[in-house]
Structure 1
Amino acid sequence: MHNLYALIVGINNYHPDLNIPPLSGCINDALDFRSYLEKIFPEERRNIVQLLGKEATRKGVIETFKTHLIDNKAIQKGDIVLFYFSGHGSFMNTAPEFYQFDATGKDETLVLYDSRLPGNYDLADKEIALLLNKIPKETDIVVIVDACHSGSITRALADSYSLGRAKFASSQRTARPLNKYLSLDDELNYEKMAEKGKLNIPETRHLVMSACSRDEVAYERGDKPTAMFTDALLGCLNEEGELPPAYSQVFEHVYALLRRRAQRQTPQLKVYNGFNPDARFLGELLPGKQPFYKVVYERDRGMWTINCGAINGLRNDTASMKSTAVKIYFPEGDTLVVPLVAVGLNKSELPDLKLKDKNKLYAASIELPPIISIQVEGSEENIAEWTTLVSSKPGNRIFFFSPENKDGADYTLSFHEEGYIVLLNEQNDIVHGVETITPATMEYMFSSCKQVCDWHQFQTIENHAMTNDDFQKTFKTNFEIEVLTDPNSDTWQSIVEETTCCLIPGKEYRRKINVTNNTDSTWYASVYFLSSRYGLSLRTSEGSAELMKGKVLPGLDRTGRLGITSGDHETLRFKLLISKTPFQDYTIPKLNDLEPEVIAPAALNLVGNFMGDFPDDSLDQEWYVKTITINLLSAVGNVGPQESYELGELSISSHPEFSASVGISDIDSKRKDINSAGVLRQVLKAKGLEVIDVRGEVDPAGPLLGIITLSGLGDTKALKDEPLVLKLRNESVSNNKGMMAVTLVDGIIVPLAIGEEENGHTRFEINALPDDQTAEKSKNLIRAVWFCLVKVVTGINLSRLRNVDFIDGIMKYRDGEAKIPPGEKALVVIHGIIGDTKGQAACMQSLIERKQYDLLLAYDYENLNLPIEKIAEDFMKQLGKAGAGKENRRIDIVAHSMGGLVSRYMIEYIKEADGWVTKLYMFGTPNGGSAFGMIPVWRNRMQVMLTLAANVSKIWAAGLSSLLSAINYGLSATQEFTNTLQQMNEDSKFYKDLNGKAANFKLADYHIIAGNQHAYVPEDQAWYNRLMENIELQVGEWVYWKKDNDIAVAVESIEKVPEDRQSTSKTVGCHHLNYFEAPASVNYFKSLKDSEENA
């Protein structure tokens, strides 16, 4: 029997000198995983060493790896060697010598407890490769990494599954010298390899399971201290069963769960140098799946290929090709596992197999992740029969869930007591069903499930190796759908990308499909149609038809019609497959629509699964797939020069120049087919916001009509001077509530308008629509935009001073009255004109851990309702009640934005507080005033703040509702503005008094941190640029002042304090909402505190 040798590492909190955000679940995960190992391995067969928290230093991990997993003489052939890591992952610029192995120029790294201290480095993928190579041969090496950017590491809060903190530490930007990588001996030394001209990353037979792909982040759960990945992994492993599942089965389970729970986290399974993924998890071999494909050597091209390609479901992005395991079977019983080199439409290239017999055909199978997941409900007997049926279907790419795993399912297959079987989608709408439960009807429903799976597989075919620009340069081919919008004038409008059209119910429109070859070459092409009822059909008369210049593809000379067959919406997809060489597409199934009803057994149309040989083709990667999606929505009205629209509580006013058709739809019904509103709703719910049903009070269990779609847009530029006005009657934004119109564009949350009070109603003014962002979109004459109206469902906390504690790395406010014990030094954080202190307080953890302060307090207050002087008085009273100014109790203050004005007024003008504060650190405080006192500027800047808070700032993510509520104070009246905002005007009496002669004598030292958004360098520059483009579209070019600014306040205003105040100033690269996250700001503050301590 084999033995287990495991090294388990878990890190929640990092070295206090490092500004690395803490995690909450890593040590729990490490201990839980150890418990699982202790359950499946008896004591005499397990050898486990764990390094937790401070033990997991760079030196400690490397040395323990050597002694326990490399130099351990007890390790024998067939034993399992396991390395498990849970903590922060990151990346850094690799040594230039490694560019030949990785074009990204990055190392994927594990962040160890002290690896960011001067002189240290994270543990890089290339170092792990060295360590694995020294493990005794003929052992089964398994690596499990629950961290960000872990896809190729060895080679390189609301709901129960809401996302918590991302397990990512900011990257180290400086390239790592080659001589700073780990060296194990003269042979495994990268510097010496390079000197000899033999630089290479060693390869070892092993398997890796990681939490996410190379360019993704891994998340913790928001509701309990554990990671999404490890939680799903242990959930699978701890299920009851006679034997643990295979690695591949475990992966399928985790993949299906995380795909549903964390849309941006894709777990990875990778095998290297022949490791068998069909082996039982940490155990011996299991019977492999039935071989299906053929591997052959093509002499004319000098390559090994397998008759499986993109049409069969393979992906050709680099990560997928490297991680796809092709298992080749030999007559002697041996197997060989290799990755893919290239993927064509029908076949794929394999590495040089070094096989002597190149005339032989070799059987092969391919491990691929599931395409969809289906929960199965019913009696134990029904589920057992279904499980037996599914196990008899080789090549099945559906992951079926038991009832206990309900959360991860895309669909539900239900065996009802009344005696019928029905397949439901996520919204519990019927996909298809059949009466009676018999072996024949079960076979039929499996065919229906497989049809849904095949439909999804074909829908996702894409050539990741070719961009749309490359497609145009290579093929010079146009693909468009033309719609006859005006029969009288024979006017056709062109659709070249996804769009939404609001159609008059019952009316159909003629359409044409055009594919035009603008070269003298001959291409091969097919056009397919995918219906929203899982139908798939060929629109050209034959597959892989010749497409010549000036010629129409056979079958496309006929026109068709667009219309809604039933319900209020329909989604149509047209997909073009095009290649330089002929391709075989008979493996693409032709699927009839699944009627959304339960049919009688007499109507069954059982179709068997065809699995045969494929003819050999020459491999060709110059192919492309382009999809045009048309969302059809029933139009319920129009707006324009003479037209307005009303439904329930909603009204949309007429507009002298702008016009559009209006569609109102249910946010829950098949939203994935229309737009991403369902995703937006989930994200906003976690931020304390709720989508409004425009009808007013409705049945909570019924549909939520919350999506407003404007289609066939007229002159959207006219909105800049005269906005489109929407009103919600009987919906007031008073009582600390806030409302806004919001949409989702390319994954970016875009506020379109902030609700304002108007005679007991709420008014929204939309000055721009996201449709006009790019020139490409403006070419599409059938244009549409959707948005929702949302409101705050949580209120603002009352003014209060609280002690702050850090328990297991998690910041918590202490209940009861705040206290400052005698003789102790306290740090107090106070927020700005919007928000709360949660993010600021969390950033101060290292100061408490390093004993630079004895305790931390946080002051939250109702901003905007009171004059700043009154807020300062309340601040002073609560500090005094806590003990400030008595018995040598010392105070420093960290203030954000307007919190600095509150603190300054208390320090300089309230007599009772004279001498209480030693140092005041002001982040983004408008010491010289701002333009906040003008309503139009306030509205624009707050819209920017909303966009940044929703998309960029981790600290503000959960507090979006508080931010919107605070903004509502500033817009709650049209004739008079709040006291606080009036005072923010640079010419106000408040500023004249504040910057005059101070009344008190014992003033604090002031340290000013001014953010400059022009100098800010985000992690993802391209995404940040798109975000700023959306902001500019909504509020204009003011955000790109020529002056240095933090988006909300000019730098010169932040730095403007009277000369007689003792102050220092520093400008850093950040914006107004990430002072306590941006490395430049946080690191400067830390260095400031360190210099004070050493002075």
Structure 2
Amino acid sequence: MTTRKLYALLVGVNEYERPLIPSLKGTHKDVDHIQNYLKKRYQETFELDIKVLKDGAATRGNVIKGLEQHLGKATENDVAIFFFAGHGSWTTENEAIKASNTIEIEKTLICHDSRTATKYDLSENELLVLLSYIGRNRADVIVLLDACHSMEFESHTGQTTRSFGGTKKPRKIEHYLYDATIKSNKFYFYKEILKYKKVKNFPKPTYAGFYACNTTEYAEENENGGWFTQGLIAGLKSNKTPQTYFQTYNAILSEMIDYPVAQTPFFEAYNGFDVNRIFISGEASNQKTKRFKVSRDKNGTTYSIQFGAQLGFPLDLKRSISFNLFGGKDKLEIVGTGEVQFIGMKNSPIHLSLPSMKYAEAYWAEILDFTIIPMSIGFVGAQGDLDALNKGLDKQDIRQVIFVTNVEECLFNLVWEEGAQCYRLYEKNRSVFILEFERLSIAKEDLLELLIFTLEHLSQWHSSVELSNPKSGITSKDIVLRFNTPKIEDTKAVQCVYSKGGFEIQTDLKNANHLPQKEYEKILLESEVDEVFDYEVGITNVSFSQDYYIACLLISADYGVIPLDSNIHLPARGSIDNIIDANYSRLSIARYKDTNVTNYLKVIISKDELPTIEGFMLSELNLEQKLEDQVKPRAVAPERIKIFDWQTSELAFCLKRK
């Protein structure tokens, strides 16, 4: 039997050729830790071929050459690992790429000689081409990045962030992979421009990626190296039995939750990479993977899979999720594949791909390339109770939450109150508890169900669904929202928030009126004393042909739904000065003992008529599902309107005591 090969390219950059880029201290240790782990763990099962690039050797040209010439040698059944530790950054995308991609900022890795002469960062679009080349012979490709793509360099106590400022000037298309050693890679983007006048076909490599943090956080290091690499090694060593890719990610997350950094590792797999196999070795796992039922819809021509946002899947899904399909819940033979592109509240539409044209009434599906990042719930109480809660989550296969002891980083905390002799659930920075229960209840399965139910509905109102969601037919170009307070003295207390280059920028309402038009994301009302604000919300439809229907809700600090008005008809080119009912035009800033109160003004925009006000008087906060059920059917297609046919926009009233 031919010995499988494991190719690894390990890159660590502490020192940079350009003096302006700050030095790091821990990337060499990260490389050494990864190299030692691979040698100790896999030297008997793989033929190892590890290439290391540090500092002066980690030039842009050498990294690209290593990806093409070293990792590119991997063939079917081999494994190719790319590990990078160093500064991450960003750049503005070239217009020809942006024309198809809609993402204005592309993330980058800063090599040793980046930003000197014509030496650019290694961008994510370049990396996609290189990963496609590496995986052309069906090798398993794994990417591990201990770097971040935040917008500035910061020093923390005993730690340094692996981030450096980005560049707003986009590079020319001929400067993408200009120094590649493989001709097809070197001219990939250039040939797209010649053929289509833009980059139309983006490469779709099949790979698994583990990243140090999400795009709003910093990847940090201390004297022992990067926190992500430390968590990765500790997570891999924590279980003596082999772990799947999913389990590996959860092990890293469990380790890093207790680290003194606000850093959430991120994991995604792409283009059908099967994450239910054992990490690196690729062997089938003995663990039974959770399956979801796929059922034929009533119309008999489409299928839906029985999962959605209530299980933690994101409504604003930015890519498809791939599945293997089975003929039964316990069947082993794969009968086809499936793909989900839109997420509903309980069910999501799925596209099936089967070798036979004869379709069954139902299938069972296993997720191939997606994982739910669980919400961390802070826990203050007895260790035995913490273990019982997490054991209960495990037993019920609840993946969307995890209880941890690092309460400072959590939005919600479960705290033992000695005086009241009960556990209470709190939102961070709020003194009013949401839920309470006795210690004896921890062993009961319905307690966890109640907790998850409560958290799902609370977090639903905390996350915005962007109006310009690319999956929606409604765009921010069609609708303009305006916030106004009639009293000039109130304008200083009203802060308008917008994003620029990844930063959140605030300006008061008076100043905002003198600035060029911005896309403001939320309104903050800040006051040192109890006050009452009069406010108005105007709305304009700038579309030439599309009518819209508007509803307006106030989601109170106690998560109650107050309908302000509904089914307001807004014709094409129409405008309404104020959509707020006169009875609700005053917002009081007065909450007993609260330090941070948030009320959301939720504006719902639909292409179809919405329910009457009674339709919004909900005993539960699953508004999106209620809307999906109640919206009138289309005149042309009689099936129920899908959730992605309408979107919401929020103005968040964050009432903060100074």
Q: 2:273 aligns with which of 265, 272, 275?
A: 275
Structure 1's 191 and 410: CA in aligned 2 closer, same or farther, altered over 3 A?
closer
Structure 1's 253 and 461: CA in aligned 2 closer, same or farther, altered over 3 A?
farther
Any gaps of 5 or more consecutive residues in structure 2? 328-332, 490-508, 510-521, 630-638
Per the alignment, residue 53 of structure 2 pairs with 51
Separation in 2, partners of 1:119, 1:426:
48
Separation in 1, partners of 2:251, 2:606:
32
Find out whether 1:175 has 2:199 as its counterpart: no
Separation in 2, partners of 1:383, 1:56:
45
Structure 1's 368 and 459: CA in aligned 2 closer, same or farther, altered over 3 A?
farther
Find out whether 1:13 has 2:2 as its counterpart: no
Per the alignment, residue 566 of structure 1 pairs with 592
Structure 1's 240 and 590: CA in aligned 2 closer, same or farther, altered over 3 A?
farther
Matches within 5 A, 1:361-372: 367=370, 369-370=372-373, 372=375
Matches within 5 A, 1:400-799: 400-401=403-404, 403=405, 408-414=409-415, 420-426=422-428, 431-438=434-441, 443-444=446-447, 447-448=450-451, 450-465=453-468, 474=478, 497-500=523-526, 523-524=548-549, 526-533=551-558, 535-537=559-561, 539=563, 546-548=567-569, 564=590, 566-567=592-593, 570-581=597-608, 590-591=619-620, 616-618=640-642, 620-629=644-653, 631=655, 674=656, 707=658
Separation in 2, partners of 1:554, 1:417:
47
Q: Which amino acid aligns with 1:432?
A: L
Separation in 2, partners of 1:105, 1:309:
29
Separation in 2, partners of 1:476, 1:2:
58
Separation in 1, partners of 2:227, 2:296:
38
Structure 1's 119 and 452: CA in aligned 2 closer, same or farther, altered over 3 A?
closer
Q: Which amino acid aligns with 2:111?
A: L
Per the alignment, residue 887 of structure 1 pairs with none
Separation in 2, partners of 1:100, 1:509:
46
Separation in 2, partners of 1:68, 1:388:
44
Report the 3-state secondary structure (helix = DSSP H, G, I; strand = E; otherwise coil) of the residue aligned with 1:452. helix
Separation in 1, partners of 2:257, 2:336:
30
Per the alignment, residue 113 of structure 1 pairs with 112
Structure 1's 6 and 529: CA in aligned 2 closer, same or farther, altered over 3 A?
same
Structure 1's 385 and 472: CA in aligned 2 closer, same or farther, altered over 3 A?
closer
Separation in 2, partners of 1:512, 1:180:
55
Per the alignment, residue 505 of structure 2 pairs with none
1:451 to partner: Cα distance? 0.9
Separation in 1, partners of 2:378, 2:353:
40
Sequence identity, in percent?
Answer: 19
Asked whether the equivalents of residues 91 and 172 of structure 1 are also in contact (C-alpha less than 8 Å), the reply is no
Q: Which amino acid aligns with 2:56?
A: K
Q: Which amino acid aligns with 1:182?
A: A
Q: Which amino acid aligns with 1:177?
A: E
Q: Deviations over 1:958-1013 (max 9, x none)?
A: xxxxxxxxxxxxxxxxxxxxxxxxxxxxxxxxxxxxxxxxxxxxxxxxxxxxxxxx
Separation in 2, partners of 1:259, 1:524:
47
Q: Which amino acid aligns with 2:16?
A: Y
Asked whether the equivalents of residues 64 and 180 of structure 2 are also in contact (C-alpha less than 8 Å), the reply is no
Separation in 2, partners of 1:475, 1:117:
44
1:207 to partner: Cα distance? 1.4
1:389 to partner: Cα distance? 1.7
Separation in 1, partners of 2:605, 2:259:
32
Structure 1's 87 and 176: CA in aligned 2 closer, same or farther, altered over 3 A?
farther
1:185 to partner: Cα distance? 4.6
Separation in 2, partners of 1:442, 1:299:
37
Per the alignment, residue 33 of structure 1 pairs with 34
Provide the TM-score with structure 1 as the length reference.
0.44
Q: Which amino acid aligns with 1:578?
A: I
Q: Which amino acid aligns with 1:139?
A: A
Report the 3-state secondary structure (helix = DSSP H, G, I; strand = E; otherwise coil) of the residue aligned with 2:210. strand
Asked whether the equivalents of residues 68 and 182 of structure 2 are also in contact (C-alpha less than 8 Å), the reply is no
Matches within 5 A, 1:148-159: 148-149=148-149, 157=155, 159=157
Structure 1's 473 and 96: CA in aligned 2 closer, same or farther, altered over 3 A?
closer
Per the alignment, residue 247 of structure 1 pairs with 246
Separation in 2, partners of 1:451, 1:422:
13
Find out whether 1:321 has 2:345 as its counterpart: no
Asked whether the equivalents of residues 601 and 652 of structure 2 are also in contact (C-alpha less than 8 Å), the reply is yes
Asked whether the equivalents of residues 244 and 279 of structure 2 are also in contact (C-alpha less than 8 Å), the reply is yes
Structure 1's 208 and 379: CA in aligned 2 closer, same or farther, altered over 3 A?
same
Per the alignment, residue 86 of structure 1 pairs with 85
Find out whether 1:166 has 2:163 as its counterpart: yes
Asked whether the equivalents of residues 209 and 268 of structure 1 are also in contact (C-alpha less than 8 Å), the reply is yes
Separation in 2, partners of 1:512, 1:95:
41
Separation in 2, partners of 1:589, 1:398:
25
Separation in 2, partners of 1:256, 1:463:
32
Q: Deviations over 1:341-369 (max 9, x none)?
A: x6788987778968865966665577464
Report the 3-state secondary structure (helix = DSSP H, G, I; strand = E; otherwise coil) of the residue aligned with 1:463. coil
Q: Which amino acid aligns with 1:451?
A: T
Structure 1's 304 and 392: CA in aligned 2 closer, same or farther, altered over 3 A?
same
Structure 1's 275 and 590: CA in aligned 2 closer, same or farther, altered over 3 A?
farther
Asked whether the equivalents of residues 385 and 442 of structure 2 are also in contact (C-alpha less than 8 Å), the reply is no
Find out whether 1:143 has 2:143 as its counterpart: yes
Instruction: Please say which structure displays the higher CA radius of gyration.
Output: 1
1:180 to partner: Cα distance? 1.7
Q: Which amino acid aligns with 1:207?
A: A
Separation in 2, partners of 1:68, 1:346:
45
Asked whether the equivalents of residues 146 and 211 of structure 1 are also in contact (C-alpha less than 8 Å), the reply is yes
Asked whether the equivalents of residues 345 and 621 of structure 1 are also in contact (C-alpha less than 8 Å), the reply is no
1:226 to partner: Cα distance? 2.8
Per the alignment, residue 988 of structure 1 pairs with none
1:462 to partner: Cα distance? 2.0
Per the alignment, residue 699 of structure 1 pairs with none
Structure 1's 386 and 562: CA in aligned 2 closer, same or farther, altered over 3 A?
same
Separation in 2, partners of 1:226, 1:587:
52
Asked whether the equivalents of residues 483 and 535 of structure 2 are also in contact (C-alpha less than 8 Å), the reply is no
Separation in 2, partners of 1:147, 1:465:
29
Asked whether the equivalents of residues 480 and 514 of structure 1 are also in contact (C-alpha less than 8 Å), the reply is yes
Separation in 2, partners of 1:220, 1:391:
30
Separation in 2, partners of 1:480, 1:260:
44
Structure 1's 21 and 522: CA in aligned 2 closer, same or farther, altered over 3 A?
closer
Asked whether the equivalents of residues 167 and 219 of structure 1 are also in contact (C-alpha less than 8 Å), the reply is no
Provide the TM-score with structure 2 as the length reference.
0.68
Structure 1's 82 and 555: CA in aligned 2 closer, same or farther, altered over 3 A?
same
Q: Deviations over 1:562-605 (max 9, x none)?
A: 5756325654334232312257999998459xxxxxxxxxxxxx
Asked whether the equivalents of residues 550 and 569 of structure 2 are also in contact (C-alpha less than 8 Å), the reply is no
Report the 3-state secondary structure (helix = DSSP H, G, I; strand = E; otherwise coil) of the residue aligned with 1:24. coil
Per the alignment, residue 737 of structure 1 pairs with none
Per the alignment, residue 184 of structure 1 pairs with 182
Matches within 5 A, 1:980-999: none
Separation in 2, partners of 1:196, 1:211:
37
Report the 3-state secondary structure (helix = DSSP H, G, I; strand = E; otherwise coil) of the residue aligned with 2:334. coil
Asked whether the equivalents of residues 83 and 144 of structure 2 are also in contact (C-alpha less than 8 Å), the reply is yes
Per the alignment, residue 399 of structure 1 pairs with 402
